[in-house]
Structure 1
Amino acid sequence: MTAQTTSASAPAGDRESRHAPLILTLFGLYARDGRHWLSVASLIALMADLGVESRAVRSSISRMKRREVLRGERLAGVAGYTPADATLQTLAEGDVRIFRRTRASRADGWVLVVFSVPESEREKRHELRTVLTRLGFGTAASGVWVAPGNLAAETRRTLERRELSAYVDLFTGDHFAFGDPREKIRSWWDLDELTELYADFLRRHGPVLDAALERAPEPLEAFRTYVPMLTQWRRLPYRDPGLPLDLLPRDWKGVAAAELFERLDALLRPAAAAHAAAVVTA
């Protein structure tokens, strides 16, 4: 098992954009109790264990603060950061998607989002598309987005929290007619892209499971493996909203990838948490 490292030759902006998801993963895993706070020193030390130098960490944190993803806070005179309220809400919702994910069935029906945004508020149109994509919606037609019906409540909460509900109508129902739903799924979602994302996860982390089963990793090794693995997995339950299996291609790789994630999570999470706790409380 190997750590995820940073390429020194990559442009600074690209490196920082890659570091931000790792930093959010650290907050999501190790700063949720109490004040949701991590010291700057702890963040730098944990990221160093992932192969990221302190200057890059400070730069990424600064950008995340400007974007109001994190906010600075001193505790007992020690500099640190907490996630902004909206970030905490996103992390909490992510817990459900990542660790308690449920797959939809045809009986759940569908939720449709129809929106219309004035040309003078084009930025809202872009934000809506970004939010719906992140929720896992597919595109049924221009301005009409579709997702499994079990996402209706989460969709409503997210649109209200982002103050986008004024532009949107939500509908729930069944696909009554016409056409084969399996073909519709393929046109609404890019299943080929999803298949490749799952295949990449399996390629990268399948050998990690074999190694962990052969020899239980030490806490530092588990941490270096677990955090990048979770960071890669974290986006997949949003890109794929848990579509009904009977509408997907046979041998859908998402099933094998989810099973791999669950086994790695069970094997690596406790040891990784032990290492992080030792660093954070040092």
Structure 2
Amino acid sequence: MKRLSSSEWIAHVLATDPPRHKSLVMTVCGDAIAPHGGAFWLGSMIELLAPLGVGDRLVRTNVFRLVQEGWLNASREGRRSRYALEAKALPRFERANRRIYSAPGLDWDGKWTFLLAPSGSIDSELRTQLRKELEWEGYAMLATGVMAHPAPDRDTLREILVRCDADGKVFACEVAELPGLGSRPLPQLVRDCWNLDAVIEGYRGFIETFAPLLNMLDQDAIPPEDAFAIRTLLIHAYRRVQLHDPMLPLALLPQPWPGASAYELARDIYRLCHVRAEQHLLAMLRREDEATPDADDAFHGRFGGLQVE
């Protein structure tokens, strides 16, 4: 296959694996809008997504859906529409960002965290809501009312319990092996609770798609518009795989774990294109609002630190 230009690579990816439009708007909100004050005018979002094959009508439709779902709030100034990340949704954006931009490889002390909700202790609606939220964070359901993870983020768990109004309604405990009983080793719970085949294939597919960019970005002066499109497609594809990754400690995963290689690839590409991508992003945002701030400190800490120019 001949070496593609940046615009040809973007067109190829959009043709072979077109992203879902609403999910792509979410990616732009989390990756690009959040670090710059968390708000945008509709015209800016339309211009940002046009090179990614999302037309005016589709942008309007999917932004409206995100308002209905509680991710964004809307306001108007004359005929112009302004949107901002909903305050109640900010913790979920922050959780997603911690997953995406932080290196995998959680330290593990050999203990598991169990969440217990005995029969009758909570109603079925809350039980379903908790299961959905905890499964997104990588917990496995061992039995009805019993969920477990070997290395969860405690702040995230606390936030989920508070937001779901489950604080004080479930039991949370740490579990360790009892020595000398001849029981199965706790690490073997991984193979019983999680089927990682799809996650492995997802990371391998991500690597196959994006690895060719390293030489392209290293040798070419990528136009800012293309750099933003590449950065958006990169994070969109990486996030899509991570949504199905339970984020277990590396010590419990099959080796070599492709998630580690996928992270390094995403980090290297992001670092190579983020400066030009920011040039395009700010040009589009400041066309509608000259007061759009520069990226915040958290942005420059992504992937272990981004170069500031």
TM over 0.5: yes
Aligned to 1:163: 165
Aligned runs of 1:45-124 on 2, under 5 Å?
Answer: 45-74=47-76, 78-107=80-109, 109-116=111-118, 121-124=123-126
In the alignment, the residues of structure 2 paired with residue 108 and residue 228 of structure 1 have an alpha-carbon distance, to the nearest angstrom, of 37
Does the CA contact (< 8 Å) of 1:135 and 1:239 recur in 2? no
Aligned to 2:254: 249
Does the CA contact (< 8 Å) of 2:119 and 2:145 recur in 1? no
Could you say which structure has the higher helix fraction?
Answer: 1
Number of aligned residues: 274
How far did residue 102 of structure 1 move?
Answer: 4.9
Letter of the 1:161 partner, please give it.
Answer: R
Q: Does 1:280 align with 2:285?
A: yes
Q: Does 1:232 align with 2:237?
A: yes
Aligned to 1:43: 45
After superposing the two structures, state which structure 1 stretch, 98-107 or 244-253, moved more: 98-107
Letter of the 2:32 partner, please give it.
Answer: Y
In the alignment, the residues of structure 2 paired with residue 6 and residue 39 of structure 1 have an alpha-carbon distance, to the nearest angstrom, of 28
Change (3 A) 1:172 1:216: farther
Normalising by structure 1, report the TM-score: 0.86
Does the CA contact (< 8 Å) of 2:71 and 2:86 recur in 1? yes
How far did residue 279 of structure 1 move?
Answer: 1.0
Match of 1:140 among 131, 139, 142: 142
How far did residue 55 of structure 1 move?
Answer: 0.9
Does the CA contact (< 8 Å) of 1:111 and 1:152 recur in 2? no
Aligned to 1:126: 128
Does the CA contact (< 8 Å) of 1:109 and 1:148 recur in 2? yes
In the alignment, the residues of structure 1 paired with residue 87 and residue 257 of structure 2 have an alpha-carbon distance, to the nearest angstrom, of 36
After superposing the two structures, state which structure 1 stretch, 60-69 or 94-103, moved more: 94-103
Q: Does 1:271 align with 2:276?
A: yes
Does the CA contact (< 8 Å) of 2:117 and 2:145 recur in 1? yes
Letter of the 1:154 partner, please give it.
Answer: T
Match of 1:2 among 10, 13, 18: 10
Letter of the 2:40 partner, please give it.
Answer: L
Change (3 A) 1:72 1:192: same
Aligned to 1:191: 196
How far did residue 33 of structure 1 move?
Answer: 5.3
In the alignment, the residues of structure 2 paired with residue 19 and residue 103 of structure 1 have an alpha-carbon distance, to the nearest angstrom, of 31
CA RMSD of aligned residues (A): 2.7
How far did residue 150 of structure 1 move?
Answer: 4.5
Change (3 A) 1:280 1:34: closer
Does the CA contact (< 8 Å) of 2:151 and 2:249 recur in 1? no
Aligned to 1:262: 267
Structure 1, residues 130-178: CA drift from partner, whole Å, max 9, x if none? 1011111123333221113342232122221232335422112324462
Aligned to 1:211: 216
How far did residue 119 of structure 1 move?
Answer: 10
Q: Secondary structure at the match of 2:232?
A: helix
Change (3 A) 1:119 1:144: closer
Which structure is larger by alpha-carbon Rg, 1 or 2?
A: 2
Does the CA contact (< 8 Å) of 1:45 and 1:279 recur in 2? yes
In the alignment, the residues of structure 1 paired with residue 282 and residue 110 of structure 2 have an alpha-carbon distance, to the nearest angstrom, of 41
In the alignment, the residues of structure 2 paired with residue 248 and residue 30 of structure 1 have an alpha-carbon distance, to the nearest angstrom, of 32
In the alignment, the residues of structure 2 paired with residue 120 and residue 6 of structure 1 have an alpha-carbon distance, to the nearest angstrom, of 47
Structure 1 stretches of 5 or more lacking a match? none
Q: Secondary structure at the match of 1:149?
A: coil
Change (3 A) 1:249 1:114: same
Letter of the 1:56 partner, please give it.
Answer: L
Letter of the 2:199 partner, please give it.
Answer: L
How far did residue 281 of structure 1 move?
Answer: 1.2
Change (3 A) 1:181 1:117: closer
Structure 2 stretches of 5 or more lacking a match? 1-8, 288-309
Change (3 A) 1:137 1:210: farther
